Amino acid sequence: MESTEQTARFTCTCGPSEETFRQIYLTAHKSWRIFWFIFAGAFLIYIGYHMTNRILWSLYAGEPLLTEPMFWLFIGELALVGFLTAWELTGPKRYAKKQLRRIAETYGGKDPIVRVSFCDDEMRIYNEASDSRMQMSYATIARCVETKTAFLLITQEKQFLSFPKDCFEGIDIPGVRAFFDAKCPNAKRNLKKADA
């Protein structure tokens, strides 16, 4: 452990939190969520337009609305899209809670504090709860993402490493950005500008 700290440029010590997992979910599902909300919005406009027409027509012509199959089809579609949208909106919270429950199950309720040492050639990850160590090269990082509260490193196999901004020791936030910029030159980066 000592040798790890000697060569480390800076470290990050953090445990799992609901916010971390929320950020991971939001980043991983960003494209899908954008697609879904555009689709659901367009669908609602379409259904809303047709339903208003039907209701107005039935009021004007005095035709019964509830016996029309199309009306119930619209209601069914509306309910389905509404349910799926609600499911997607609650997704981050559900995912975060599930991951926290899994962690509690795996470590028997102990909080697994992870200490990551950022060295020049690799990251060294030490899990206090299981007393395990592993190394990860910067070459495996395919994406660097900066959110409001954390930095996320995403590997080629879509594994997420999350580093809350307030958990870094020995460096400031612009320094972390510059470090990831330099160490992961081939990764797709959406880090904020230095003055952001």
Partner 1 sequence: MEQMTQSAGARAQFVLTDAYAREMYRSIRPRVLIILGIVFFVPVLVYCITKIAWRALFSYVTGAAFLEGVSMWLAVALLLAYLVGFIWLLFAPRRRAKHLVRRMHELYGAPAQIRVSFLPDAMKVQMTAESPGISLAYPVFVRCLETSNLFLFVTREKQLFPVAKQGLLDVDEETFKKSIALKCPDIKRNWRIAE
Which of helix, strand or coil describes residue 191? Answer: coil
d(CA 106, CA 103): 5
Applying CB under 8 A, does 53 fall inside the site for partner 1? no
Question: Which range binds partner 1 by CB under 8 A, 1-9, 34-42, 133-141, 175-183?
Answer: 133-141
Output the smallest distance, CB 148 to partner 1, in A.
27
**Considering only residues 4, 17, 85, 140, which one is a binding residue for partner 1 as defined by CB under 8 A?**
140
Question: Which range binds partner 1 by CB under 8 A, 2-10, 42-50, 76-84, 157-165?
Answer: 157-165
Applying CB under 8 A, does 106 fall inside the site for partner 1? yes
**Residue matched to tokens 């660097």:** 144
**Residue matched to tokens 């962690």:** 103
The residue type at 15: G
Question: Which range binds partner 1 by CB under 8 A, 54-62, 81-89, 102-110, 183-191?
Answer: 102-110
Task: Please give the DSSP secondary-structure letter assigned to residue 148.
Answer: S
φ, ψ dihedrals at 120, nearest 5°: -70, -35
Applying CB under 8 A, does 98 fall inside the site for partner 1? yes
**Considering only residues 65, 136, 171, 178, which one is a binding residue for partner 1 as defined by CB under 8 A?**
136
Report the chain's C-alpha Rg in angstroms: 24
Output the smallest distance, CB 132 to partner 1, in A.
4
**Considering only residues 4, 27, 85, 155, which one is a binding residue for partner 1 as defined by CB under 8 A?**
155
Beta strands 122-127 and 168-169, pairing class: unpaired
Q: By CB neighbour count within 10 A (0-12 exposed, 13-18 middle, 19+ buried), where does 190 fall? A: exposed
Which of helix, strand or coil describes residue 143? Answer: strand
Output the smallest distance, CB 87 to partner 1, in A.
15
**Residue matched to tokens 């190394």:** 135
Nearest to 187 by CA among 155, 143, 156, 146: 143
Question: Which range binds partner 1 by CB under 8 A, 1-9, 26-34, 105-113, 176-184?
Answer: 105-113
**Considering only residues 52, 53, 90, 156, which one is a binding residue for partner 1 as defined by CB under 8 A?**
156
Binding site for partner 1 (CB under 8 A): 98, 101-102, 105-108, 130-136, 140, 155-159
